[in-house]
Structure 1
Amino acid sequence: MVRNSAPQSIDDLMQRCHHIAGKSLGQIAQEVGCRVPADLLRNKGWVGQLLESYLGADAGNQAEPDFISLGIELKTLPLNAHGEPKESTYVCTVSLSEYEALTWQESWVKRKLSHVLWLPVEAESSIPLAERYIGAGWLWQPDQIEEEILKADWEELMDRLALGEQSELTAREGQYLQVRPKAAHSRILAKSSDISGETILMNPRGFYLRTTFTKRLLAKACI
């Protein structure tokens, strides 16, 4: 897969977004010399990787926003047949070492969500992967109310995690932000700590944005 050079400005990035809006994943894959997999069962991150390559995301595995010099994070938004978000949006991994070390301002969640390029993509399972279309991307930064709610969610969830309540924490907690297992299957385990401070093994957790929240963002972008 050929990776394009990083965009030099926000205008450059948005021009690339305009170019792919209305095109299929198959067309974009052809442009970057990439084979389209039969499905996403064993290639879950393929759509994101394809779009990162075309748009020139340059962070790789670094702890930086996807477009480092622009400070912009790329998030794909899979849509169902009704044009609504199909699933919650992964933000970042929950790190055991961060439970007591960070404030919201220093958190990786805030950094990831400070400036986001959203790219909606058809994700209805009845549509072959290569024929799924990409929608019009838009830039988003949380307004004051959105950030206050995200901050409150993060602080409450981190407090629960710091108290060793990982096993009691469910995806029902949090208004916009939730914590969920992020492993591909239940056999993947990571070190954590329980309420007594003892080290235990459990499924890795991640922060996710609820579909109710991303649905609101999509509606605002379409106004």
Structure 2
Amino acid sequence: MYFNSENELIIKAKEARGKTFKEIDKFNRLSKKGATGALGNIIEESFFGYEVNSKAEADFSNLGVELKVTPFKQNKNKTLSAKERLVLNIINYMDEVHNDFWSSSFWKKNEKLLLMFYEWKPEIDRGDYKIIETILFTFPEEDLEIIKKDWEFIVNKIRAGEAHNLSEGDTQYLGACTKGANKNSLRAQPYSDELAMQRAYSLKQSYMTTLVRQVISNEKLVQFASADELKEKTLEQLLKERFEPYTGMTMMEMANKLNIKINPKNRAVVANLISALLGVKGTKLDNIAEFAKANIQFKTVRLKQNGKPKESMSFVNIDFNEILEETWEDSFIRNYFLETQILFVVFQFDEEDILRFKGIKLWHMPLQTIENEVFNYWSEIRKVLKDGVVLTKTSKGVENNFPKSNFNGVLHVRPKGADANDKVQLPDGQWITKQCYWLNASYIAEIVSSLEV
């Protein structure tokens, strides 16, 4: 099919709403089990009537529009989320380093996206997945400023001979995700002899989740930074600029300057301070556009007078059955640290034992740490689960034989339940207090050590 205008294209695309892939499929692609990209191919061949291809230009080249078919899912709490990142075009390390953003393969291919959203449900056959909505998407001005900086970071890393050290955590909205079945998917890079994993540009899962919620659920987000600000400074620079005037203040002093009322004992006190000083008072941090799209999660750190954290830092509870079933590449913990940025909001007790704001640090775990220390810890947990978890009663409670905090100096597992009776069942049938990943206090101290006293 040939479309003379974007309006013609979108009218045709909207005809797919409410249809299942089974209804659309004319070439029996659904019979090929596990075929990569099969659902997208069905839309290309059976709905729009063009051959599947891997051209450098956009799918509807005369309009400069690229077609993407992408899934979303409903979470246990009834909210919607993108099921995965949106993988775009392969990064040609050899060619891309000679382009600027406007002549890049990313921009030529993905300036305008025809997004067709379908709902993924684990209990039904993929042929019964249904197209729910379709939109012609162009990047908002504020997003484009961040995406341009993301692209520059990725390409500058390739220019520095560091393509093998690229990580999705390096950037905010536009990622460089691995594209290949395994570590044999290696490619040459122009300024280093070291082979690098094949990667593709991608819109991060968190970015796609915000789109899903805006398009399907009609949710609204609040932007704290303007496009003009983002042209001049990075997101991290803007965050530091907003927080800096409050350095050295107590929480109450910060609240008074911001003209808000707080209860320092309230668990939401720091979140309330953050939204107020960012100029979006009362907004939940999940509804701040830059936080939601970049998957920035904040963590409060309280340092003792000697600069050491008062405690280790917890994350989500562990699903031990999931650990046994998942591969490392698809593991929860690997993808969590690959895709998540953490905004450390740091307070420190002064000589009079008064807690004062020290500063912030926007951080993501280095790729080497993920692939070495975190991988080793994850492997050791699997080994313990396979060999059998040993639970030993002690005077302090019940101990287990999962690796301790001294295993690699980065993270460990320990209980995080409402109480000793808040338990989950292990794969071997035993019951154990809910466990959680914790970053070691000493590791957190290293991360925030660059903050000035």
Q: TM-score, normalised by structure 2?
A: 0.44
Displacement of 1:59 in angstroms is 8.0
Q: Deviations over 1:39-84 (max 9, x none)?
A: 43xx111111111121245683321111111211111121123332
SS in 2 for 1:130: helix
Q: Could you tell me which of 185, 190, 196 is aligned with 1:202?
A: 196
For CA contacts below 8 A with separation 6 or more, give which structure has more relative contact order: 1
Asked if structure 2 preserves the Cα contact closer than 8 Å seen for 1:123 and 1:132, the reply is: yes
The one-letter amino acid paired with 1:25 is F
Q: Which has the larger strand fraction?
A: 2
Higher Cα Rg, which structure: 2
The one-letter amino acid paired with 2:127 is A
Match of 1:211 in 2: 205
Q: Quick one: structure 1 residues 156 and 122, their matched pair in 2 at CA, closer, same or farther if it must change by over 3 Å?
A: same
In the alignment, the residues of structure 2 paired with residue 35 and residue 110 of structure 1 have an alpha-carbon distance, to the nearest angstrom, of: 30
Displacement of 1:192 in angstroms is 2.2
The one-letter amino acid paired with 1:46 is A
In the alignment, the residues of structure 2 paired with residue 45 and residue 6 of structure 1 have an alpha-carbon distance, to the nearest angstrom, of: 23
Asked if structure 2 preserves the Cα contact closer than 8 Å seen for 1:153 and 1:176, the reply is: yes
Report matched runs for 1:165-184 at 5 Å: 165-184=162-181
Displacement of 1:13 in angstroms is 1.8
In the alignment, the residues of structure 2 paired with residue 200 and residue 34 of structure 1 have an alpha-carbon distance, to the nearest angstrom, of: 42
Match of 1:13 in 2: 9
Q: Could you tell me which of 40, 56, 59 is aligned with 1:48?
A: 40
Asked if structure 2 preserves the Cα contact closer than 8 Å seen for 1:99 and 1:162, the reply is: no
Match of 2:19 in 1: 23
The one-letter amino acid paired with 2:144 is E
Asked if structure 1 preserves the Cα contact closer than 8 Å seen for 2:66 and 2:109, the reply is: yes
Q: Could you tell me which of 163, 172, 178 is aligned with 2:160?
A: 163
Q: Deviations over 1:161-187 (max 9, x none)?
A: 111112222121110011121012222
Report matched runs for 1:51-200 at 5 Å: 51-53=43-45, 54-57=47-50, 60-82=53-75, 83-193=80-190, 197-200=191-194
In the alignment, the residues of structure 1 paired with residue 111 and residue 154 of structure 2 have an alpha-carbon distance, to the nearest angstrom, of: 19
Identity %: 23
Q: Deviations over 1:110-160 (max 9, x none)?
A: 223311111011233332111111111011111211110100100011111
Aligned length: 212
SS in 2 for 1:125: coil
Q: Quick one: structure 1 residues 140 and 75, their matched pair in 2 at CA, closer, same or farther if it must change by over 3 Å?
A: same
Match of 1:36 in 2: 30
Displacement of 1:206 in angstroms is 1.1
SS in 2 for 1:191: strand
In the alignment, the residues of structure 2 paired with residue 217 and residue 124 of structure 1 have an alpha-carbon distance, to the nearest angstrom, of: 19
Which deviates the most, 178-187 or 11-20? 11-20
In the alignment, the residues of structure 2 paired with residue 57 and residue 171 of structure 1 have an alpha-carbon distance, to the nearest angstrom, of: 32
RMSD: 2.0
Q: Quick one: structure 1 residues 14 and 99, their matched pair in 2 at CA, closer, same or farther if it must change by over 3 Å?
A: closer
Q: Quick one: structure 1 residues 190 and 67, their matched pair in 2 at CA, closer, same or farther if it must change by over 3 Å?
A: same
The one-letter amino acid paired with 1:24 is T
Displacement of 1:34 in angstroms is 2.3
Q: TM-score, normalised by structure 1?
A: 0.86
Unaligned runs of 5+ in 2: 219-453
